[in-house]
Structure 1
Amino acid sequence: MAIGGKRKRNNDSDGEDDSSRRRTRTEPEKEIKEPFRPSMIKNKEKRSEVHAKVKHQKKLEKRAKAKARDAAVKRAIELGEEPPEKKVPRTIENTREVDETVCKPDDEELFAGNDADEFSSVLNRQHNPKILITTCRFNSTRGPAFISELLTVIPNAHYFKRGTYDLKKIVEYANKQDFTSLVVVHTNRREPNALLIIGLPNGPTAHFKLTNLVLRKDIKNHGVPTSHQPELVLNNFTTRLGHRVGRMIQSLFPQDPEFKGRRVVTFHNQRDFIFFRHHRYIFETKEIKKIESKGKKDEDGKSEKVPDHKTIARLQECGPRFTLKLVSLQHGTFDSKGGEYEWVHKPEMDTSRRSQNRIDTS
């Protein structure tokens, strides 16, 4: 009797039953399933097989889209309509932020200052460039090897052993000897890792980080350069800072190249990395056989083949090969304590790959 009465009170109290109590409980959230990927398969052979099938299916879909696009273009041309707009891939280059320091061809203020800067006497051919090359105090085996190749690249360059002299004393000596530039090769752990270029007599001083050095002997099928003055090519030095750095590099080389030597020195700037290459042109004459018209035949009645010569031009790398990145640009000659800097590289400048470069806009 007590049990039945208890059951009755439970059924009648507040009108609640088991189903209502179940509804009041927090329902567990549904688990979100991840999309299937071949990498989720543990068996290596099965995973490779599924991956190959997925890759093949994507290839077929890509081919089908290309055929449909070509058919749409062909149909539009036949009907005299405009073909569908070609899609442009989204890349880092075409999504870069606009830089206000890009040099424009009509910038009269910038080009008017070229006649009064530190490099005008050399670039206007008033003085011939004369370069002094030295090293840091603690030199390595690859340092002299790199310098010996720089001497073949830069005409009228002279090497002086550093010894224990301070850099300021070397700058004073170079000014007395009428040198126009001073190049210092720094090494770390027996490897050249930096270049210091000082414009004389009044600066500026550029500090470059040097990486990816490949000497001439390590380049496959390398060529041996001649003593002719090389042709200089500067690419993508388009901002105000790049314009100044480009003129500094240009002041290291004579302004009257000897094209007969077929030597080309290239400084290609891309994303603030300056890639150096040294090549020479090679012209080869190849024999190409062509069949003359049907009217001319030999004794056997066959068409006569007359050899024809064709000249082909190609490039042969002479070395060395290395990459530079500007670390700082300082007013005047080298002064590590009281010098004023025009520009200094900071780590926060490399946070975004889409931000415009300081030297170029490529």
Structure 2
Amino acid sequence: MGGKRKDFASTTDVQGTEEGGEQKVKKKKKEKLAADGLLPSTIKNKEKRSAVHAKLKHQKRLEKRKRAKARDAAEQRALELGEEPPPRKIPRTIENTRELDETICKPDDEELYAANDADEFSSILKQDRTPKILITTCRFNSTRGPAFISDLLSVIPNAHYFKRGTYDLKKIVEYAENKEFTSVIVVHTNRREPDALLIIALPDGPTAHFKLSKLLLRKDIKNHGNPTSHKPELVLNNFTTRLGHRIGRLIQSLFPQDPNFRGRRVVTFHNQRDFVFFRHHRYIFETKESKQAASSGKKSKDNNDEKSEQKLIARLQECGPRFTLKLISLQHGTFDSKGGEYEWVHKPEMDTSRRRFFL
């Protein structure tokens, strides 16, 4: 552990010195522009300020184009000489400068695979049980709530909708257990808009509470497709930590593990910066012919010199709905608002760093 801390500290020191050097260079450029009277923020006249800003922007664009041309020329020269081209610089993003997390899953983690065989979702993922989902609403329903639920019913196979009425959620969970449902999904609405999802795995939990945002129903998507009744393929992206792995298996347990590829349906849950983006598509493969003129000799009057090449192209059509999920809490067992124990809860003090992710 001590060695790892030293290595991590040394890498952070190097990154800090590099960032400090870049900041010094930028500061010197700003001071020079301010001395020459070319810094837009120092100009009070609005027209002059906008003109100087446009001029600086144009100069930056020209410099960027020159750097790209020089890089392409160096790569071409290296290829002609039979050498390796110079390595391209990797841009710094929030993803590749993510803070080190000890809970990131590794492919050779035997303990993780042993835990997968004994967790609450193993019977469904091993196809010993078929998923059967009960979908209901909160007590105070809205107009967009049923529309969203009808879209969910077309996405999740073997899903059934039951009206909430005045029943407590614990009674609904007991009823679902007796009827051999494997999961309960509760759509919560606020101000006539669905704003949260509660996913309860039966019979032993866990219970995941998600914040729902950026909802776009199928009818609101332009040129949307109508899904068939085939079992969809499921794609889960970037669930890398132990918590993310558990959430991924919870989502996976909602869908059958034997997709019907003839239907060409794909349901995607893409995690990026702890936001889970949901998309639902249909795909198709097409062969497209593209004609290319022959490069040898003169152009003839006839089109005999044109060669036709066939390319395989994949086309996507979004079926909807489209929404984003943000994990709020993960609770042990089924839903219990008073005496329940939580595996993980999101707190405001966790958001101090932009480069810290939990899924």
User: What TM-score, normalized by structure 2, do the two folds share?
Assistant: 0.82
Aligned twin of 2:150: 148
Map Cα deviations across residues 193-227 of structure 1 (whole Å, 9 max, x no partner).
00000011111111000000000011111100000
Aligned twin of 1:321: 322
The alignment partner of 2:135 has SS state of strand
Map Cα deviations across residues 123-161 of structure 1 (whole Å, 9 max, x no partner).
111111000000000000000000000000000000000
Give 2:335's aligned amino acid: F
Q: CA deviation at 1:238?
A: 1.3
2:72 & 2:233 partners in 1: Cα distance? 44
1:237 & 1:268 partners in 2: Cα distance? 8
Q: CA deviation at 1:119?
A: 0.8
Stretch of structure 1 that moved more, 275-284 or 180-189 = 275-284
CA change 1:76–1:257 in 2 (3 A) is closer
Aligned twin of 2:341: 340
1:170 & 1:162 partners in 2: Cα distance? 8
The alignment partner of 1:213 has SS state of strand
Q: State how 1:280-291 maps to structure 2 within 5 Å.
A: 280-289=282-291
The alignment partner of 1:353 has SS state of coil
Q: Does 1:224 align with 2:226?
A: yes
Q: State how 1:1-362 maps to structure 2 within 5 Å.
A: 36=37, 37-72=39-74, 84-289=86-291, 303=304, 311-355=312-356, 357-359=357-359
Q: CA deviation at 1:117?
A: 1.0
CA change 1:114–1:69 in 2 (3 A) is closer
Map Cα deviations across residues 23-58 of structure 1 (whole Å, 9 max, x no partner).
xxxxxxxxx995542243333333332222222222
2:302 & 2:157 partners in 1: Cα distance? 61
Q: Contact 1:102–1:240 (CA<8 Å) still a contact in 2?
A: yes
Q: Contact 2:95–2:273 (CA<8 Å) still a contact in 1?
A: no
1:256 & 1:79 partners in 2: Cα distance? 52
2:293 & 2:55 partners in 1: Cα distance? 49
- Among the aligned pairs, what percent are the same residue? 79
User: What TM-score, normalized by structure 1, do the two folds share?
Assistant: 0.82
1:292 & 1:58 partners in 2: Cα distance? 40
CA change 1:202–1:306 in 2 (3 A) is same
Aligned twin of 2:24: none
Give 1:353's aligned amino acid: R
Q: Contact 1:291–1:303 (CA<8 Å) still a contact in 2?
A: no
CA change 1:112–1:305 in 2 (3 A) is same
The alignment partner of 2:316 has SS state of strand
1:160 & 1:141 partners in 2: Cα distance? 16
Map Cα deviations across residues 103-138 of structure 1 (whole Å, 9 max, x no partner).
111111111111211111111111110000000000
Stretch of structure 1 that moved more, 89-98 or 173-182 = 89-98
CA change 1:292–1:137 in 2 (3 A) is same
Q: What is the aligned-residue RMSD (CA, Å)?
A: 2.8
Give 1:358's aligned amino acid: F
1:185 & 1:112 partners in 2: Cα distance? 33
Larger radius of gyration: 1
Stretch of structure 1 that moved more, 126-135 or 302-311 = 302-311
Give 2:94's aligned amino acid: I
CA change 1:291–1:197 in 2 (3 A) is same
Please, which runs of 5 or more residues in structure 1 have no aligned partner?
1-31, 295-299
1:291 & 1:54 partners in 2: Cα distance? 43
Stretch of structure 1 that moved more, 110-119 or 250-259 = 110-119
CA change 1:289–1:50 in 2 (3 A) is closer
2:164 & 2:58 partners in 1: Cα distance? 62
Stretch of structure 1 that moved more, 317-326 or 97-106 = 97-106
The alignment partner of 2:96 has SS state of helix
Give 1:346's aligned amino acid: K
CA change 1:177–1:302 in 2 (3 A) is closer
Q: Contact 2:103–2:242 (CA<8 Å) still a contact in 1?
A: yes
